[in-house]
Copies of this chain bind each other. A is one copy, B any other.
Amino acid sequence: MRISALSATTGVPIPTIKYYLREGLLPEGVRTGATQADYSDAHAQRLRVIRALVASGVSIAEVRRVLAALDTPPPTPHDLLGVAHEAVTAHVEDDGLDLTDAQALAARLGAKPGMPIEPSQLRVLARALATTADAGFEIPAPVMDAYVASARRVAEAEINGVPTDSPEAAVSYVVLGTVLPESVLLALRRIAEQVVSAERFAGRSG
């Protein structure tokens, strides 16, 4: 297909496609004339992955890393997911933060020694725990139990839904499915809090 059809198929504007071509993120099409090239469905699929990554706030440099992983697939699908997951993970410097509590929670989530858990993700958790404690708030043990059980349940459903038909589809799913539902999850929790609060307290006088 021509670049105009590629743009129409994917919804990505032509100048943006040209930018990705210049950056080497999207392979050149097959030249069919001095100013024309032919693009395949593989181009459209790759373009959707790039758009998904960029829409999730991933930098062009990180997009390049994810695409490199797609082009030379690592030995296991887990490694491929790891690259996609890492691309959308905040990189937290090792600032000597105590990871003991974060590691204990990871173990409760099912982490075993030798499992590839990103240290950066453990630091994100350790920092979140530290911020909570610094503000003088202690998450009650039964609440933390519910957080751990819910995180595990959510992850099982999500990973169960990873499409295995193509690496591109898997990476798009992991990248988009990691980042985008976060605001959905938080909004659901807040509405649930209102519902349960109404159930528990409605009608009682203050």
Q: Are A110 and B199 in contact (CB under 8 A)?
A: yes
Contact among B81, B139, B190, B198 for A78, CB-based, below 8 A: B198
**Interface segment out of the listed A13-21, A30-38, A59-67, A143-151:** A143-151
A77-B201 in contact given A106-B191, A189-B151, A196-B155 (Cβ < 8 Å): yes
Q: Which of B51, B154, B188, B203 has a CB less than 8 Å from the CB of A125?
A: B188
Known contacts A176-B135, A194-B85, A201-B78; A142 and B124 CB within 8 A of each other: no
Docked Cα-Cα span, A184 to B143, in Å, equals 12
A176 touches B137 (CB 8 A): yes
A72 to chain B, nearest CB (A): 10
| Cβ contacts under 8 Å, A196 to chain B | 110, 152, 155-156, 158-159
| Binary flags per residue of A183-206, CB closer than 8 Å to B gives 1, else 0 | 111111111111111111111111
The digit string for A89-130, where 1 denotes a CB below 8 A from any CB of B, is: 100000000000010011001110001111001101101110
Decide yes or no whether A43 CB sits under 8 A from chain B. no
Number of residues from A at the complex interface, CB < 8 A: 94
Residue on B nearest A188 in the bound complex, by CB: B151
- For A153, what are the chain B residues with a Cβ–Cβ distance below 8 Å? 146, 149-150
Q: In the complex, which residues 130-184 of chain A have their Cβ closer than 8 Å to any Cβ of chain B?
A: 131-132, 135-137, 139-140, 142-143, 145-162, 167, 172-173, 176-178, 180-184
Other contacts beyond A128-B187, A147-B181: 20, CB < 8 A: A73-B206, A74-B206, A76-B205, A76-B206, A78-B197, A78-B198, A82-B194, A82-B197, A111-B194, A132-B184, A137-B177, A139-B177, A143-B181, A146-B158, A147-B184, A147-B185, A151-B191, A155-B193, A182-B186, A185-B185
Chain A interface (Cβ < 8 Å from any Cβ of B)? 48, 51-52, 55-56, 73-82, 85, 89, 102, 105-106, 109-111, 115-118, 121-122, 124-125, 127-129, 131-132, 135-137, 139-140, 142-143, 145-162, 167, 172-173, 176-178, 180-206
